[in-house]
């Protein structure tokens, strides 16, 4: 438990038991040493129309240019999927190296790539273990690295990849705790200095209907944004049943989506997509959160299966955020913003004050679907290339054209907002952006090895038990 300290200025006085409970989720809060990191958020404005220009959607395929060789760190389903998406982005692209803590994950990835018709990856460029990423980064011919391990490892891997001067595609979220996110922000500045391109897996920012809807909003289609809501409600996510031969560490890694220290909980790991859209469209981010949540149906891990959070921005705008992973409940994955002159679903439509559609997106690519880089579900993507490929098209195009892009800053901010909501729901207390930027909270073990993991596995419970 963190050592006792004075209550920081601006935080209401609480009983010692309440303070101890708060610190269990937030860590020790210091009042100094965060000015540089806090400055990373200053590029966001409360008025999106004053600082952000219209966005030009990316091309249908990456521009021609030099051959780009990629390595993959984290060869599970998402890492393998990202590798395939990268290879679908254009010509002159190859995946030449793989790294994962599990040999079977590498074998499965190699097989999937082979089945897709891509060149087989040689044994001497496949690395296994917690330090496998270091061996992969020693390959001089690599231009780009795909980082797709459980999010806990993202800050360390991003720093190492940037230090090796490789371009980066990394999956969201960018961390699971304040220490990790602040590390990402520092590394992002280093990537800027080295003019490395970084794309972060928030594919809605590359999805053409979102971009065109955003452009309409920036041009004033709904007036000033006054409220927002976002949801990711779905059935229970996958889980792994523990095998007798698995150690604590192996079980948690194979079941990573259900453990706080590995995934950050699903409000961070999954719902960040929706939260990021609201940050994008408003041009800023919430500065405090008050949430609730709990666990009803989850069968493994130490996480909640539902969250409901009221996020507040510093201009008094409120975001209602809800996410749930429980079978048999109504689903909803969406974003919605309300303005003084109308509203929008952020994805493809704008409505007037009476709810009538006054603008709807129509893809210039309607009817052009031609291969598996184009989404076949027109109702969802309107005939455009799937955004999971589009983000790689945009990354490769930036690298080849010498255009510097770095999405790490914006996705780090959205990751921290998601963490703010999680900590508030876990503790039952209001949590502020300033507190998180000053927090030393770090989740997970200090060292990584297969064997026993001496970390708490109880599920968080907000508040105090009734004593009378």
CB atoms within 10 A of CB 210: 23
Residue 129 to residue 234: CA distance in whole angstroms: 33
Q: Is the model more confident about 246 or about 33? A: 246
pLDDT digits 0-9 by tens, 105-119: 999 999 999 999 999
Q: How far, in whole angstroms, is CA 219 from its chain's centroid?
A: 27
Per-residue pLDDT reduced to its tens digit, 224-260? 999 999 999 999 999 999 999 999 999 999 999 999 9
User: Looking at per-residue confidence, does 344 or 47 come out higher?
Assistant: 344
Instruction: Report the pLDDT averaged over residues 177-204.
Output: 98
Average pLDDT for residues 146-174, to the nearest whole number? 98
Helices 208-218 and 272-282 pack at an angle, to 10 degrees, of: 30
pLDDT at 275 over 70: yes
For residue 154, give both structure tokens. 């993202």
Contact 87, 69 (CB under 8 A): no
Start-to-end Cα distance in the chain: 27
Least confident segment among 9-18, 77-86, 127-136: 9-18
Confidence of residue 381 (pLDDT cuts 50, 70, 90): low
> How confident is the model at residue 17, as a pLDDT?
52
pTM of the model: 0.91
CA–CA distance, 70 with 143 (Å, rounded to integer): 6
| pLDDT at 368 exceeding the cut of 80 | no
pLDDT band at 334 (very low <50, low <70, confident <90, very high): very high
Please confirm whether the linkage preceding 173 is cis (ω < 30° from 0): yes
Give the mean model confidence (pLDDT) for residues 134-148: 98
CB–CB of 319/311 below 8 Å? yes
pLDDT of 20:
54
Between CA 66 and CA 165 the distance in angstroms is 17
Cα–Cα distance, 208 to 363 (Å, whole number): 8
- pLDDT reading at 380 higher than 60: no
Q: How far is CA 24 from the centre of its chain?
A: 24
CA dist 69 and 66 (Å) reads 10
Percentage with pLDDT > 90 across the chain = 81
Residue-wise pLDDT tens digits, 286-304? 999 999 999 999 999 999 9
Q: pLDDT-based confidence at 468, cuts 50/70/90?
A: confident
Strands (E), 208-328: 225-234, 288-294, 306-312, 318-325
Cα–Cα distance measured from residue 279 to residue 411, given in angstroms and rounded to the nearest whole number: 10
Strands 225-234 and 318-325: parallel
pLDDT at 265: 98
Domains and CATH numbers, the chain: 212-374 (3.30.360.10)
Q: What is the pLDDT of residues 350-365, one digit of tens each?
A: 999 999 999 999 888 7
Token match 């210091």: residue? 30
pLDDT tens-digit series, residues 53-96:
899 999 999 999 999 999 999 999 999 999 999 999 999 999 99
> What is the predicted pLDDT for the residue at 257?
97
Q: Are 376 and 369 in contact (CB under 8 A)?
A: yes
Mean pLDDT of the chain: 90
Rg of the chain in Å (alpha carbons): 22
Is the pLDDT at 34 greater than 60, yes or no? Answer: no
Sheet containing strand 225-234, strands side by side: 357-360, 349-351, 343-344, 332-339, 225-234, 318-325, 306-312, 288-294, 431-432
Report the distance separating Cα 104 and Cα 170, nearest Å. Answer: 22
Token pair listed for 258:
């259900």
107 Cβ neighbours under 8 A, 6+ residues apart? none
């Amino acid at each position: 438990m963190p050592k006792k300290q004075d209550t920081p200025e601006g935080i209401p006085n609480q009983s010692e038991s309440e303070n101890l409970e708060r610190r269990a989720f937030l860590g020790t809060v210091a009042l100094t040493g965060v000015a540089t990191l806090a400055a990373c958020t200053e590029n966001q404005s409360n008025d999106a129309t004053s600082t952000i220009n219209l966005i030009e959607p990316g091309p249908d395929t990456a521009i021609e240019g030099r051959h780009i060789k990629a390595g993959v760190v984290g060869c599970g389903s998402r890492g393998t999927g990202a590798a395939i998406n990268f290879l679908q982005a254009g010509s002159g692209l190859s995946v030449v190296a793989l790294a994962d803590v599990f040999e079977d994950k590498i074998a499965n990835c190699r097989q999937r790539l082979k089945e897709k018709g891509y060149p087989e990856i040689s044994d001497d460029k496949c690395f296994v273990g917690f330090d496998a990423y270091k061996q992969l980064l020693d390959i001089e011919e690599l231009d780009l690295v795909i980082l797709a391990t459980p999010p806990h490892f993202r800050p360390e891997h991003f720093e190492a990849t940037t230090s090796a001067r490789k371009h980066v595609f990394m999956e969201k979220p960018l961390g699971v705790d304040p220490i990790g996110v602040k590390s990402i922000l520092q590394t992002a500045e280093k990537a800027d200095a080295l003019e490395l391109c970084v794309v972060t897996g928030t594919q809605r920012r590359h999805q053409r209907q979102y971009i065109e809807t955003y452009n309409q909003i920036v041009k004033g289609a709904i007036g000033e944004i006054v409220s927002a809501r976002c949801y990711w409600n779905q059935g229970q996510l996958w889980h792994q049943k523990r095998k007798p031969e698995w150690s604590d560490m192996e079980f948690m890694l194979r079941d990573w989506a259900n453990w706080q220290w590995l995934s950050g909980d699903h409000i961070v790991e999954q719902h960040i997509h929706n939260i990021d859209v609201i940050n994008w469209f408003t041009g800023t981010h919430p500065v405090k959160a008050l949430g609730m949540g709990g666990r009803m149906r989850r069968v493994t891990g130490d996480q909640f299966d539902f969250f409901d959070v009221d996020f507040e921005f510093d201009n008094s705008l409120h975001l209602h955020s809800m996410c749930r992973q429980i079978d048999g409940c109504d689903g909803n994955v969406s974003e919605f913003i309300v303005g003084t002159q109308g509203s929008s679903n952020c994805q493809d439509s704008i409505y007037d004050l009476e709810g009538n559609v006054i603008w709807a997106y129509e893809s210039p690519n309607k009817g052009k679907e031609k291969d598996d880089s184009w989404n076949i579900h027109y109702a969802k993507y309107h005939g455009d290339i799937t955004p999971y490929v589009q983000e790689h098209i945009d990354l490769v195009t930036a690298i080849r054209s010498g255009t510097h892009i770095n999405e790490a800053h914006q996705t780090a901010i959205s990751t921290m907002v998601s963490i703010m909501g999680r900590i508030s729901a876990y503790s039952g207390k209001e949590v502020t952006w300033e507190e998180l930027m000053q927090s030393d909270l770090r989740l997970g073990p200090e060292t990584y090895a297969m064997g026993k993991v001496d970390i708490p596995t109880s599920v968080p419970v907000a508040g105090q038990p009734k004593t009378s």
